[in-house]
């Protein structure tokens, strides 16, 4: 409260108009960081989803964590506090990064904790970790940790998202069956609460705040720092696509692959994800050799849906996991001869979606509506989901589905 009291003693400036039409006055240290620039308001009025559009009264551009605390304390001092929403890269799909008639906090302006990779000398009881500002993007975290030969363990498919943003949701990708989502890979957090307090929390300290803010959609605090566990970084990746025309075989093989990790099998996969290739133009066949495009198109046309297992095995420069990959796929029931493989760097694989983004942006197809739904379906109903939704709705009603991913996650993660 000392910081807020200091702000209250400063000059008051007319800055925005509240919803009741009455003038709202803010301390100069706050008002100087509030923007009503039309361009700033326009950017803060939309998100990746391009479905919800809500205009804030102002955009707050903090240069320190203290600025965020001062803003929250100021709001709490009013008879009718205004809504505050933290915004990183605004990859929400239904307006979660917006604050209609409130204030959006532009986290990208924050100059707080950057990215500090702790010395990994085996002496720390925490193991290898990095302290990362909530406003930092995962691609920058990757670049910084790779300098020390280290890497976070759990990712999203797209890396140009903020740490605070994905930790406010879940952060799920093909590593989740091994390590759980990103919210299961956090050692400690700093956050500014709804009371304006700066709190350090973990599984052992201030646990209620810790578990509330992880996956809390930004409703329980603003994440300003996260301590992320790290492990040794591989250098290369064997990246496979296996094509299926039978959903039961596809599911059985996915379950088999993740069970190998549960058994601590040395041949276990490092990444397992699935996707649908639908008989809807245009087919994205960029992963596959051009000589196979016609064969794959014919297969999709014949069955309506082809199911793809995306399978990855990490390795180091001085090794070739040829036998490990052979052991991974030998019992799998994909369509014969429809196995495709690439060999790329670890960083290239993790950042694979960025190339797709650049292509879509060049075609004007990135800033478009992105309805998106993530759901967990129990194993006992996944076959019903295929029949009822994928076949019964998407195919029979000829609904354009866009990207559809289907992959297994162990409950214990």
Task: List the catalytic residues.
Answer: 91, 157, 273
In SS3 terms, 116-150 reads as: EECCCCCCCCCCCEEEEECCCEHHHHHHHHHCCCE
Q: What is the DSSP string of 284-301?
A: --TTS-GGGHHHHHHHHH
Please check whether residue 128 is in contact with residue 145, taking contact to mean a CB–CB distance below 8 angstroms.
no
- Do 101 and 75 contact (CB within 8 A), yes or no? no
Contact 293, 284 (CB under 8 A): no
Rounded CA-CA distance 97/92 in Å is: 6
């Amino acid at each position: 409260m000392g910081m807020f009291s200091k702000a209250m003693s400063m000059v008051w400036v007319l800055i925005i108009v509240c919803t009741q039409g009455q003038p709202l006055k803010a301390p100069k240290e706050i008002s100087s960081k509030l923007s009503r620039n039309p361009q700033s308001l326009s950017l803060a009025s939309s998100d990746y989803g391009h479905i919800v559009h809500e205009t804030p009264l102002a955009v707050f551009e903090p240069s320190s964590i203290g600025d965020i605390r001062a803003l929250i304390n100021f709001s709490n001092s009013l008879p009718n506090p205004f809504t505050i929403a933290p915004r990183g890269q605004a990859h929400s799909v239904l307006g979660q990064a917006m604050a209609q008639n409130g204030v959006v906090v532009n986290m990208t302006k924050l100059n707080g904790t950057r990215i500090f990779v702790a010395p990994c000398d085996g002496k720390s009881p925490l193991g290898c970790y990095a302290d990362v500002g909530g406003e930092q993007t995962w691609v920058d975290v990757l670049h910084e940790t790779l300098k020390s030969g280290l890497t976070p363990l759990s990712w999203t498919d797209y890396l140009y998202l903020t740490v605070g943003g994905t930790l406010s949701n879940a952060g799920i990708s093909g590593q989740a069956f091994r390590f759980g989502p990103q919210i299961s890979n956090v050692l400690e957090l700093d956050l500014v609460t709804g009371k304006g307090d700066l709190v350090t929390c973990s599984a052992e300290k201030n646990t209620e705040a810790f578990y509330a803010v992880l996956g809390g959609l930004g409703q329980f605090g603003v994440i300003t720092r996260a301590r992320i566990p790290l492990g040794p970084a591989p250098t290369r990746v064997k990246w496979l696509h296996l094509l299926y025309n039978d959903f039961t075989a596809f599911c059985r093989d996915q379950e088999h692959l993740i069970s190998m990790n549960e058994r601590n099998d040395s041949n276990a996969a490092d990444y397992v994800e699935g996707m649908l290739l639908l008989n809807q133009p245009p087919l994205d066949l960029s992963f596959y050799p051009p000589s196979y495009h016609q064969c794959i198109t014919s297969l999709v046309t014949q069955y309506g849906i082809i199911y793809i297992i995306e399978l990855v095995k990490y390795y180091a420069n001085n090794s070739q996991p040829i036998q490990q990959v052979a052991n991974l796929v030998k019992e799998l029931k994909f369509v014969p001869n429809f196995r495709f493989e690439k060999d790329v760097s670890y960083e290239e694989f993790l950042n694979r979606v960025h190339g797709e983004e650049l292509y879509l942006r060049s075609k004007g197809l990135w800033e478009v509506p992105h309805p998106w739904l993530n759901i967990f379906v129990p194993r006992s109903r996944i076959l019903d989901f295929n029949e009822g939704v994928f076949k019964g709705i998407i195919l029979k009603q000829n609904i354009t589905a866009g990207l559809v991913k289907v992959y297994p996650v162990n409950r214990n993660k």
